[in-house]
Protein backbone atom coordinates (compact mmCIF):
# COMPACT_ATOMS: atom_id res chain seq x y z
CA UNK A 1 0.00 0.00 0.00
CA UNK A 2 1.32 3.44 -0.85
CA UNK A 3 2.66 5.49 2.04
CA UNK A 4 1.10 8.53 0.36
CA UNK A 5 -2.13 7.64 2.17
CA UNK A 6 -0.41 8.73 5.38
CA UNK A 7 1.26 11.85 3.99
CA UNK A 8 0.08 15.02 5.74
CA UNK A 9 1.98 17.46 3.54
CA UNK A 10 -0.11 20.58 2.95
CA UNK A 11 -2.30 19.99 6.01
CA UNK A 12 -2.32 21.99 9.24
CA UNK A 13 -3.01 20.38 12.62
CA UNK A 14 -4.10 22.06 15.86
CA UNK A 15 -3.25 19.99 18.93
CA UNK A 16 -4.65 21.24 22.24
CA UNK A 17 -2.57 20.86 25.38
CA UNK A 18 0.53 20.28 23.27
CA UNK A 19 3.38 21.89 25.19
CA UNK A 20 4.34 18.56 26.79
CA UNK A 21 3.47 14.89 27.18
CA UNK A 22 1.19 13.12 24.72
CA UNK A 23 0.16 16.37 23.02
CA UNK A 24 3.74 17.34 22.22
CA UNK A 25 4.59 13.81 21.04
CA UNK A 26 1.61 13.84 18.68
CA UNK A 27 2.54 17.31 17.41
CA UNK A 28 6.08 16.12 16.71
CA UNK A 29 4.78 13.00 14.95
CA UNK A 30 2.29 14.85 12.77
CA UNK A 31 5.02 17.34 11.84
CA UNK A 32 7.28 14.46 10.77
CA UNK A 33 4.41 13.24 8.55
CA UNK A 34 4.38 16.62 6.80
CA UNK A 35 1.76 18.63 8.68
CA UNK A 36 2.18 22.24 9.74
CA UNK A 37 1.56 22.40 13.49
CA UNK A 38 -0.47 24.74 15.68
CA UNK A 39 0.50 24.28 19.32
CA UNK A 40 -1.96 25.20 22.05
CA UNK A 41 -1.75 25.73 25.79
CA UNK A 42 -2.36 28.37 28.44
CA UNK A 43 1.28 28.84 29.49
CA UNK A 44 2.80 31.03 26.77
CA UNK A 45 6.34 30.37 27.95
CA UNK A 46 6.01 26.58 27.82
CA UNK A 47 4.27 26.87 24.47
CA UNK A 48 7.16 28.84 22.98
CA UNK A 49 9.70 26.35 24.34
CA UNK A 50 7.78 23.53 22.67
CA UNK A 51 7.57 25.52 19.43
CA UNK A 52 11.36 26.07 19.43
CA UNK A 53 11.95 22.32 19.79
CA UNK A 54 9.66 21.52 16.86
CA UNK A 55 11.19 24.22 14.68
CA UNK A 56 14.68 22.92 15.44
CA UNK A 57 13.49 19.53 14.16
CA UNK A 58 12.38 21.19 10.92
CA UNK A 59 8.69 21.65 11.62
CA UNK A 60 6.45 24.53 10.54
CA UNK A 61 4.94 25.74 13.81
CA UNK A 62 2.51 28.38 15.09
CA UNK A 63 1.53 28.93 18.70
CA UNK A 64 -2.09 29.62 19.57
CA UNK A 65 -2.55 30.16 23.31
CA UNK A 66 -6.11 29.98 24.61
CA UNK A 67 -8.08 28.38 27.44
CA UNK A 68 -9.88 25.33 26.03
CA UNK A 69 -12.58 25.64 28.71
CA UNK A 70 -13.58 29.17 27.65
CA UNK A 71 -16.07 28.91 24.78
CA UNK A 72 -15.77 32.54 23.68
CA UNK A 73 -11.96 32.50 23.85
CA UNK A 74 -11.81 29.28 21.84
CA UNK A 75 -14.08 30.65 19.12
CA UNK A 76 -12.17 33.94 18.92
CA UNK A 77 -8.81 32.15 18.68
CA UNK A 78 -9.88 29.62 16.05
CA UNK A 79 -11.82 32.12 13.95
CA UNK A 80 -8.97 34.59 14.14
CA UNK A 81 -6.39 32.02 13.08
CA UNK A 82 -8.53 30.83 10.18
CA UNK A 83 -8.92 34.43 9.00
CA UNK A 84 -5.35 35.64 9.39
CA UNK A 85 -3.19 32.53 8.93
CA UNK A 86 -5.01 29.67 7.24
CA UNK A 87 -7.18 26.60 7.56
CA UNK A 88 -7.05 24.12 10.41
CA UNK A 89 -7.44 20.78 8.61
CA UNK A 90 -6.81 18.47 11.57
CA UNK A 91 -7.86 18.94 15.19
CA UNK A 92 -6.47 16.78 17.97
CA UNK A 93 -8.43 17.41 21.17
CA UNK A 94 -5.75 16.38 23.65
CA UNK A 95 -6.05 18.83 26.57
CA UNK A 96 -6.92 17.02 29.78
CA UNK A 97 -6.34 16.73 33.50
CA UNK A 98 -6.52 14.14 36.28
CA UNK A 99 -7.48 14.29 39.97
CA UNK A 100 -7.17 11.22 42.17
CA UNK A 101 -9.39 10.99 45.26
CA UNK A 102 -11.77 8.35 46.60
CA UNK A 103 -15.20 9.03 45.13
CA UNK A 104 -16.87 9.51 48.52
CA UNK A 105 -14.42 12.32 49.29
CA UNK A 106 -14.07 13.76 45.77
CA UNK A 107 -14.24 17.60 45.91
CA UNK A 108 -17.08 19.11 43.93
CA UNK A 109 -14.83 21.83 42.50
CA UNK A 110 -12.34 19.22 41.23
CA UNK A 111 -15.22 17.33 39.61
CA UNK A 112 -16.31 20.49 37.80
CA UNK A 113 -12.75 21.20 36.62
CA UNK A 114 -12.54 17.68 35.19
CA UNK A 115 -15.82 18.13 33.34
CA UNK A 116 -14.70 21.43 31.85
CA UNK A 117 -11.17 20.40 30.92
CA UNK A 118 -11.77 16.84 29.71
CA UNK A 119 -15.15 17.00 28.01
CA UNK A 120 -16.46 20.57 27.63
CA UNK A 121 -13.19 21.51 25.89
CA UNK A 122 -13.78 18.81 23.28
CA UNK A 123 -17.14 20.41 22.51
CA UNK A 124 -15.79 23.98 22.49
CA UNK A 125 -12.76 23.40 20.25
CA UNK A 126 -14.49 20.73 18.16
CA UNK A 127 -17.41 23.02 17.34
CA UNK A 128 -15.19 26.02 16.58
CA UNK A 129 -13.02 24.05 14.16
CA UNK A 130 -15.88 22.05 12.64
CA UNK A 131 -17.74 25.17 11.51
CA UNK A 132 -14.81 25.96 9.21
CA UNK A 133 -14.27 22.33 8.19
CA UNK A 134 -17.94 21.99 7.24
CA UNK A 135 -17.63 24.93 4.85
CA UNK A 136 -14.65 23.19 3.19
CA UNK A 137 -16.40 19.78 3.18
CA UNK A 138 -13.29 18.22 4.74
CA UNK A 139 -11.63 17.84 8.11
CA UNK A 140 -10.21 15.40 10.64
CA UNK A 141 -11.04 15.48 14.35
CA UNK A 142 -9.19 13.16 16.71
CA UNK A 143 -10.38 13.26 20.33
CA UNK A 144 -8.07 11.80 22.96
CA UNK A 145 -10.01 9.29 25.02
CA UNK A 146 -8.39 6.80 27.43
CA UNK A 147 -8.25 3.22 28.58
CA UNK A 148 -10.63 4.62 31.23
CA UNK A 149 -13.17 5.11 28.44
CA UNK A 150 -13.80 1.38 28.83
CA UNK A 151 -12.45 0.56 32.30
CA UNK A 152 -12.42 2.04 35.81
CA UNK A 153 -9.94 2.13 38.66
CA UNK A 154 -10.36 3.25 42.28
CA UNK A 155 -10.00 6.96 42.94
CA UNK A 156 -10.67 8.31 39.44
CA UNK A 157 -14.40 7.81 38.89
CA UNK A 158 -15.04 11.37 37.60
CA UNK A 159 -12.10 11.09 35.18
CA UNK A 160 -13.54 7.80 33.95
CA UNK A 161 -16.90 9.51 33.44
CA UNK A 162 -15.32 12.28 31.35
CA UNK A 163 -13.44 9.85 29.14
CA UNK A 164 -16.56 7.77 28.59
CA UNK A 165 -18.26 10.99 27.53
CA UNK A 166 -15.43 11.75 25.08
CA UNK A 167 -16.14 8.49 23.25
CA UNK A 168 -19.86 9.19 23.03
CA UNK A 169 -19.35 12.82 21.99
CA UNK A 170 -17.05 11.47 19.26
CA UNK A 171 -19.87 9.24 18.03
CA UNK A 172 -22.19 12.25 18.07
CA UNK A 173 -19.70 14.35 16.10
CA UNK A 174 -19.43 11.60 13.50
CA UNK A 175 -23.20 11.23 13.31
CA UNK A 176 -23.74 14.96 12.75
CA UNK A 177 -20.67 15.84 10.69
CA UNK A 178 -19.71 12.86 8.54
CA UNK A 179 -22.26 14.04 5.98
CA UNK A 180 -20.06 17.14 5.48
CA UNK A 181 -16.90 15.16 4.79
CA UNK A 182 -15.48 15.21 8.33
CA UNK A 183 -13.90 12.18 9.98
CA UNK A 184 -14.39 12.26 13.76
CA UNK A 185 -12.70 9.55 15.81
CA UNK A 186 -11.09 8.98 19.19
CA UNK A 187 -7.66 7.69 20.12
CA UNK A 188 -7.58 5.93 23.50
CA UNK A 189 -4.16 5.58 25.12
CA UNK A 190 -3.51 2.98 27.78
CA UNK A 191 -0.93 3.67 30.48
CA UNK A 192 1.84 5.88 29.12
CA UNK A 193 4.85 7.41 30.80
CA UNK A 194 3.77 11.09 30.80
CA UNK A 195 3.82 14.03 33.25
CA UNK A 196 0.13 13.31 34.00
CA UNK A 197 1.12 9.82 35.20
CA UNK A 198 4.35 10.83 36.93
CA UNK A 199 3.13 9.77 40.38
CA UNK A 200 2.14 6.33 39.09
CA UNK A 201 5.36 5.84 37.13
CA UNK A 202 7.30 6.62 40.32
CA UNK A 203 5.30 4.04 42.30
CA UNK A 204 7.08 0.64 42.06
CA UNK A 205 3.99 -1.20 43.34
CA UNK A 206 1.77 0.31 40.63
CA UNK A 207 4.32 -0.27 37.87
CA UNK A 208 4.64 -3.92 38.92
CA UNK A 209 0.86 -4.30 38.90
CA UNK A 210 0.63 -2.63 35.48
CA UNK A 211 3.29 -4.88 33.96
CA UNK A 212 1.35 -7.94 35.12
CA UNK A 213 -2.03 -6.53 34.06
CA UNK A 214 -0.93 -5.45 30.56
CA UNK A 215 -0.30 -8.23 28.00
CA UNK A 216 2.60 -6.19 26.57
CA UNK A 217 4.08 -6.17 30.08
CA UNK A 218 5.13 -2.51 30.32
CA UNK A 219 4.28 1.18 30.22
CA UNK A 220 3.71 2.64 26.77
CA UNK A 221 6.05 5.19 25.22
CA UNK A 222 4.31 8.30 23.88
CA UNK A 223 5.92 7.81 20.46
CA UNK A 224 3.85 4.64 20.11
CA UNK A 225 0.70 6.76 19.79
CA UNK A 226 1.94 8.62 16.73
CA UNK A 227 1.14 6.02 14.06
CA UNK A 228 -2.46 5.68 15.17
CA UNK A 229 -2.88 9.47 15.23
CA UNK A 230 -1.40 9.81 11.74
CA UNK A 231 -3.80 7.13 10.51
CA UNK A 232 -6.83 8.94 11.95
CA UNK A 233 -5.54 12.29 10.59
CA UNK A 234 -4.78 11.13 7.06
CA UNK A 235 -6.39 9.91 3.85
CA UNK A 236 -5.88 6.36 5.12
CA UNK A 237 -9.02 6.74 7.30
CA UNK A 238 -11.51 8.40 4.93
CA UNK A 239 -14.29 5.90 5.78
CA UNK A 240 -13.50 5.59 9.49
CA UNK A 241 -15.98 7.54 11.61
CA UNK A 242 -17.12 7.44 15.23
CA UNK A 243 -14.45 4.88 16.11
CA UNK A 244 -12.45 4.66 19.34
CA UNK A 245 -8.99 3.21 18.64
CA UNK A 246 -7.31 1.75 21.75
CA UNK A 247 -3.51 1.87 21.90
CA UNK A 248 -3.03 0.14 25.22
CA UNK A 249 -0.74 -2.88 24.98
CA UNK A 250 -3.79 -5.14 25.12
CA UNK A 251 -5.04 -4.12 28.56
CA UNK A 252 -8.68 -3.74 27.44
CA UNK A 253 -8.56 -7.12 25.72
CA UNK A 254 -7.48 -9.17 28.72
CA UNK A 255 -8.92 -10.04 32.12
Catalytic residue positions?
Answer: 159
Residue 119 has what DSSP assignment? I
- Bridge partners (DSSP) of residue 244 are 186
236 Cβ partners below 8 Å, 6+ apart?
Answer: 5, 6, 230
Residue 92 has what DSSP assignment? E
In 51-175, at which residue ranges do the beta strands (DSSP E only) sit? 61-63, 90-93, 139-144
Separation between Cα atoms, residue 110 and residue 102, nearest integer Å: 12
Decide: 145 and 102 in contact? Cβ < 8 Å.
Answer: no
3-state secondary structure of 61: strand
Amino acid sequence: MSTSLFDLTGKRALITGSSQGIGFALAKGLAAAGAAIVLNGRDVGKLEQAAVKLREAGGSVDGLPFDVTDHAAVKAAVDGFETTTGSIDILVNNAGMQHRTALEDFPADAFERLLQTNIASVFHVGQACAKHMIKRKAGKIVNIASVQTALARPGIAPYTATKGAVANLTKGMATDWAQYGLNCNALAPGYFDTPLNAALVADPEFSTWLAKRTPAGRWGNVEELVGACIFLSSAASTFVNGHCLYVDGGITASL
